């Protein structure tokens, strides 16, 4: 039995082959452009699942990196503030030592010390109300505009500001203002006010040096804690960067392509497709009947 090959069947076969060639060419072009081996899930269902898992881990790692950077900025702000506070307290101590030599001070010299102490007290209060991105670094999660009010009351809510640096670890990035500066009548601000009052009333301010040293010790202890936390964040940043590199390597092994090989295949497919077009045009010459249809 003989099968008759008609021009219509030849045309359909040629169109089918050309469409397949064009589809293969388009797929290679997408791969070369995107540089991804998986352009649609059907290319590799198992690989797609792995790629989605890695992408989820990469998103989490990126967020942890942002958390680490934000936490580091909080701690840098606090560390800088505490350094300034320590400098101010040393000045307060020096002035108090001068004021303790009451017998050798003139009235104008004593007035100058009082003025300087009042200025330092205001600067200490300003430091205690330091904020980062609109949030006070010494008041926990309180939304108050300042950690300390003019009446020296404290607005901290007892909570802590935490930043998650990996799936299992969170780090505190704020500092307890009440532990550093004290509150109310026991605050460093009240202490300076008391020194000023003693000087104005002719009272010996020498005993106040012990209170100053105690407050300075609290500030130093908090600086040490902040330094330890900064070191922890530095280690977390290195770990986070290494994780990001590992995950990118995994992603590349799943989705990456050998670009040179793909370009070679693309050029070969373009040549094949162009040859198919030319051959089809020669074989399927239009007849008079094609124009009469």
Architecture of domain 53-251: Up-down Bundle (1.20)
Maximum distance among all Cα pairs of the chain, rounded to whole angstroms:
134
> Cα dist. 201→102, 110, 194, 226, 227 in Å?
11, 11, 10, 39, 41
Distance CA 240, CA 64 (A): 7
Distances (CA, A) of 232 to 173, 224, 259: 11, 13, 41
* Residue indicated by tokens 């936490």: 71
pLDDT of 183 reads 92
d(CA 111, CA 90): 19
85 close to 124: Cβ distance less than 8 angstroms: yes
Tokens 């010790």 belong to residue: 217
What is this structure's pTM? 0.75
* Cβ-based burial of 237 (10 A; exposed 0-12, middle 13-18, buried ≥19): middle
Contacts made by residues 51-58, CB under 8 angstroms, sequence distance 24+: 51/251, 51/254, 51/255, 54/247, 54/250, 54/251, 54/254, 55/251, 57/247, 58/244, 58/247, 58/248, 58/251
Please give the full DSSP string across 136-190, using - where no structure is assigned.
ETTSTT---S-SB-TT--B---S---EEEEETTEEEE----HHHHH--GGGSHHH
Q: How does pLDDT run along the chain (293 residues), one tens digit per residue?
A: 455 555 556 566 666 666 766 666 666 566 656 656 666 666 667 777 887 898 899 999 999 999 999 999 999 999 999 999 999 999 999 999 998 886 677 888 889 999 999 999 999 999 999 999 999 999 999 988 899 999 999 999 889 999 999 999 999 999 999 999 999 999 999 999 999 999 998 889 999 999 999 999 999 999 999 999 999 999 999 999 999 999 988 877 776 555 566 666 667 767 776 766 666 666 566 554 554 55
Pick the closest to residue 252 from 264, 262, 244 (CA basis): 244
* Beta pairing class for 169-172 and 162-166: antiparallel
Beta bridge partners of 169: 166
179 Cβ contact partners less than 8 Å away, ≥ 6 residues apart: 218, 222
Looking at residue 225, what is its pLDDT? 94
């Amino acid at each position: 039995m003989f099968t008759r090959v008609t021009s219509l069947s030849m045309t359909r076969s040629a169109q089918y082959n050309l469409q397949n060639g064009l589809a293969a060419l388009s797929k290679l072009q997408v791969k070369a452009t995107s540089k991804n081996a998986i352009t649609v899930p059907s290319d590799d269902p198992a690989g797609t699942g792995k790629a989605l898992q890695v992408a989820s881990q990469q998103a989490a790692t990126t967020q942890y990196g942002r958390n680490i950077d934000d936490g580091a900025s909080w701690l840098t702000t606090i560390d800088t503030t505490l350094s300034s506070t320590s400098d101010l307290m040393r000045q307060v101590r020096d002035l108090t030592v001068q004021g303790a030599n009451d017998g050798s001070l003139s009235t104008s010299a004593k007035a100058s010390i009082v003025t300087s102490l009042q200025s330092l007290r205001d600067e200490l209060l300003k430091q205690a109300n330091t904020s980062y991105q609109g949030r006070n670094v010494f008041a926990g999660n309180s939304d108050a505009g300042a950690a300390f009010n003019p009446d020296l009351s404290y607005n901290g809510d007892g909570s802590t500001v935490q930043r998650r640096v990996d799936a299992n670890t969170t780090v505190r990035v704020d500092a307890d203002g009440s532990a550093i500066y004290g509150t109310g009548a026991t605050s460093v601000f009240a202490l300076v006010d008391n020194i000023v009052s003693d000087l104005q009333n002719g009272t010996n301010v020498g005993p106040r040096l012990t209170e100053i040293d105690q407050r300075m010790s609290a500030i130093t202890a908090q600086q040490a804690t902040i330094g330890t936390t900064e070191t922890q964040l530095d280690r977390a940043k290195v770990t986070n960067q290494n994780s990001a590199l590992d995950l990118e390597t995994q992603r590349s092994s799943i989705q990456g392509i050998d670009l040179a090989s793909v370009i070679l295949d693309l050029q070969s497919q373009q040549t094949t497709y162009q040859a198919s077009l030319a051959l089809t045009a020669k074989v399927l010459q239009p007849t008079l009947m094609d124009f009469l249809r």
